[in-house]
Structure 1
Amino acid sequence: METPVVAIVGRPNVGKSTLFNRLVGKRLALVDDRPGVTRDRREGDASLLGLDFRVVDTAGYEEDDPQTLPGRMRQQTEAAVAGADVALFMVDARAGILPLDEEISRWLRAGDTPVVLVANKAEGRAGEQGLLEALALGFGDAVALSAEHGEGVADLFQALRPHLERPEGDEADETRAEDGPLKIAIVGRPNAGKSTLVNRIIGEDRMITGPEAGITRDSIAIEWSWEGRPVRLIDTAGMRKRANITDKLEKLSVSDAMRAVDFAEVVVLLLDATRGLEAQDLKIADHVLQEGRALIVALNKWDVAENASALFNGVRAALDEGLAQARGLPLLTVSAATGKGIDTLMKVGFEVRDAWSKRVPTGQLNRWFEGALERNPPPAPGGKRIKPRYVTQNNTRPPSFVMFGTRVDQLPESYRRYLVNGIRKELGFGTVPVRFVMRAPKNPFDP
């Protein structure tokens, strides 16, 4: 079967080579802040969450005479896009949409190659306006991405998947994301029992285990199935406090574990019940939530835990206090030694992924929104009314929402939390990370 091809296209210096390097897993493309560093088409074999394809890094698209160097670079880009199964059109969310972006979008719309719009450098508030401006290019919602930090790769996978997966016979119908393998990473401090748990789950001694902390160096993916449903288990190296990491190889392992979080849908933070919850566990949990992954906390070695009820309640209270943005996270008890609690862990894993992947119809979302405003009208700071107009879900995995209205950017953080909590409780998102931004019109005379 012929390998599908993805061409990355965009104006100079939007981050195309950085994304190329991340997809191929090697620093094959030269990356520099100066525009126009890439002059030739570079190709590499890429893999994204099990999706294999050939990726082409193109020169920045310039409008120049074909006989000039920029003109020849443009011809190379056009040839790469014509031969691709899908084009990744990359813009810079921080810089916003420039005239050359609009020119490239017109050229792409005139062609036959499907286009996935990617807004790079979208991390943080600085990229939010650019994401909204990108809607005007006519390719729908942009995939919010940080090629440098690896954020948004799950969304990129979902956008590419329909264009790259080859249908086979009766399976030609598009597969829903929730029907694919549950990508679940197991993370935690060294010696919490991660590899022992993986061995117990799959029923074989696949991972080397022992009393010494830090045996696992690499993140290892294992294909498996639970009750007939496909699962991709990712065991990772233990994450210790940065001050305790002196061995260079272990530094690489911790970095690898962080990358495993990027490629997971659901992350299980495994705690040692004989040691309870420590500050490092909360840091790992916060990192997982910041990356937008669904999180489950599991207390391992439950079969040998003392004062079990008090321990469970203490960990529950510490999690709710230390992770206020995700109160009520699933807290489960397991035993890698006996297998107790593993079926519950897998069941909850599939449930939280369903919530993480959920999209609410705009009509239902705004009916809830109107009710939330009636029950608790927004405040009027300085006597000026804030008028929320509507809200839309602009993404899933994690679920992301944008609220539009007059002066909504002046709403206090407490009111934003009120709306996010309502989304969680009343629209079925549970404890998965929910991103919620507020957008006021630029026109100061807008009533």
Structure 2
Amino acid sequence: MSKLPKVAIVGRPNVGKSTLFNRLVGKKLALVDDRPGVTRDRREGDATLVGMEFRIIDTAGYEDQDAASLPGRMRAQTEEAVAQADVALFMIDSRVGLVPLDEEIARWLRGSNTPVVLVANKAEGKAGEAGILESLSLGFGDPVQLSAEHGEGMGDLFDALLPHIEHDDIEEEEEEEEDPENPDAPLKLAIVGRPNAGKSTLINKMLGQERLITGPEAGITRDSIAIEWLWNDPDRGERAVRLIDTAGMRKRANVQDKLEKLSVADALHAIDFAEVIVLLLDATRGLEAQDLRIADSALQEGRALVVALNKWDVAENASSLFNGVKAALEEGLSQVRGVPLMTVSAATGKGIDMLMKVAFETREAWSKRVGTGELNRWFEKAIEANPPPAPGGKRIKLRYLTQAKTRPPGFVLFGTRVDQLPMSYQRYLINGIRRDLGFGAVPVRLTLRAPKNPFDR
């Protein structure tokens, strides 16, 4: 868990909050578009500004609407972010000048206990001069003039933040490189699925707070949001988890909107950084072709996969539904048999502990390494029980097997004429490795290598 000071960026929609966030974290983590209201959930990242380190929070555009509406729920997230922050950056658009909503946000910020630094964005050139003068009326003193897009004014922002960010109180932590095979390292767990499967609701239930915006509207989540969490394992106590909520992924032909395309691309990108993928299904709708496409995408990327049936508390004909989904997964994901299928209720929390237990066990299998001796004892028995074929009457000689990598497990098979080894025999070996050596239903890669000596055939 980060002990860095927290800085929240607030302001009305489309003033450039996400652009500044991306600049400070040094990556394009937040989606940016010309349309207002792209950011919905608050997103956090580690920021560096002229050597100063802090945790930056990008928030949704502040709007004055009913608390039960989507903009109202977004506003509640922004208010929570400011309450947790050491300082708030109140951003206005200097080219547009002040609008009534800016003044309302200023009134709200003056009533909070969080220090405020006024930021006038888009201040390059002379077009923002009038807006900068107008902003003095907000009561936060001279604004920091900057251009988030072009990186101008960052030195002034540093000077404004410095009094509010006391690094002396922060426990110095040496930057340790995470050992990928350390079982105590945070589990990187991405929740993926179609829109409205209940991904954000499930994460909120795990966290025990309304951290992510939820509601009946499909497609609320746009950015992939990573959240640090400590799961209380009944057997082992607290275990670190990095939860990643993603945008719902519809069938590609149905995704026409540019912003939705960006959201889906962001979700696919999140899969690349996860260790275990939880594919969340809506039990009231069962398994659809798009679910299999998402699952296949995760497996193709070499990620460990767990499938969870959500809304199990309201599912009808539960037993036949479970068996039907299980059979469809076996048929549709034939490259990896036996993917764990769990049942959960994001509404009640039932099944979450079992889901997490299986997720950690799956990561353990995904990270497993088998010694060369044990591996080749198994290998000798496997080829004795089922010798490789002899295409054209010429025997394929399989010499030995070694594990080259983990996460996902990768094996190299050495022998002669291995280029003629049928896929069916390769599958026989892969399935045996999974079944007999404790790899379960994780993706296993097999690479074939022939000797370099051209006469050794």
Question: Where does structure 2 lack aligned partners over 5 or more consecutive residues?
Answer: 1-24, 30-44, 50-171, 233-237
- Aligned mates of 1:270, 1:173 — CA distance in 2: 28
Which residue number in structure 2 is paired with residue 192 of structure 1?
A: 197
Change (3 A) 1:174 1:429: closer
User: Is the counterpart of residue 429 in structure 1 residue 443 in structure 2?
Assistant: no
C-alpha contact (below 8 Å) 1:167/1:173 kept by paired residues: no
Q: 2:27 is matched by which residue type in structure 1?
A: G
> How far is the alpha carbon of 1:179 from its aligned partner?
1.3
Q: Give the corresponding residue for 2:60.
A: none
Q: 1:270: how far off?
A: 0.2
Question: Structure 1, residues 297-352: CA drift from partner, whole Å, max 9, x if none?
Answer: 00000000000011001000000000001111000000001101000000001000
Matched length: 291
C-alpha separation in 1, matches of 2:347 and 2:365: 30
Alignment of 1:13-32 (within 5 A): 25=27
Query: In structure 2, how many angstroms separate the alpha carbons of the residues matched to 1:195 and 1:174?
Result: 29
Counting aligned pairs with the same residue, the percent is 75
Q: 2:377 aligns to what?
A: 367
Distance of aligned partners of 1:172 and 1:231 in 2 relative to their CA distance in 1, 3 Å threshold: closer
2:349 is paired with a residue whose SS is coil
CA distance in structure 2 between the aligned counterparts of 1:379 and 1:52, rounded to whole angstroms = 58
Instruction: Report if the CA contact (8 A) 1:223-1:231 is conserved.
Output: yes
Show the counterpart of 1:377: 387
TM-score relative to the length of structure 2: 0.61
Conserved in 1, the CA contact under 8 Å of 2:196 and 2:218? yes
1:216 equivalent to 2:226? Answer no
Equivalents in 2 of 1:382, 1:168: separation in Å? Answer: 61
Query: Is the CA contact 1:362–1:393 (under 8 Å) kept in the aligned structure 2?
Result: yes
Alpha-carbon separation, structure 1, partners of 2:180 and 2:213: 35
* Distance in 1 separating the partners of 2:290 and 2:391: 39
- Structure 2 CA distance for aligned equivalents of residues 424 and 53 of structure 1: 44
One-letter amino acid of the counterpart of residue 359, structure 2: G
Larger Rg: 2
Residue ranges of structure 1 left out of the alignment (5+ in a row): 1-22, 28-49, 55-165
Q: CA deviation at 1:408?
A: 1.4
- Alignment-derived partner of residue 131 in structure 1: none
| In the alignment, structure 1 residue 386 sits paired with structure 2 residue 396 | yes
Q: What's the offset of the Cα at 1:177?
A: 2.5
2:26·2:47 contact (CA, 8 Å) conserved in 1? Answer: no
The aligned runs of 1:106-255 (5 Å cut-off) are: 176-227=181-232, 228-255=238-265
| Residue type at the aligned position of 1:377 | P
SS at match of 2:240: strand
Corresponding residue of 1:281: 291
* 1:439 maps onto 2:449 in alignment: yes
User: Quick one: distance in 2 between partners of 1:315 and 1:290?
Assistant: 21
Alpha-carbon distance between aligned partners in 2 of 1:313 and 1:425, rounded to the nearest angstrom: 22
Task: Verify the 8 A CA contact 2:178 2:185 in the aligned structure 1.
Answer: no
Q: Does 1:332 align with 2:342?
A: yes
Q: Distance in 1 between matches of 2:379 and 2:356?
A: 33
Q: Distance in 1 between matches of 2:335 and 2:46?
A: 32
| Change in CA separation of 1:412 and 1:230 when aligned onto 2, cut-off 3 Å | same
Is contact 1:274–1:301 with CA below 8 Å preserved after alignment?
yes
Q: Take 1:174 and 1:188, find their aligned partners in 2: how far apart are those partners?
A: 29
Contact 2:181 2:367 in 1 (8 A): no
Partner of 1:411: 421
Distance 1:176 1:242, change over 3 A: closer
Give 4+ residue runs of structure 1 displaced > 3 Å after superposition: 23-27, 50-54, 166-169, 171-176
Matches within 5 A, 1:59-138: none
SS of the residue corresponding to residue 365 of structure 1 reads helix
Q: Secondary structure at the match of 2:335?
A: helix
| Preserved CA contact (<8 Å) 1:269 1:297 | yes
SS at match of 2:183: helix
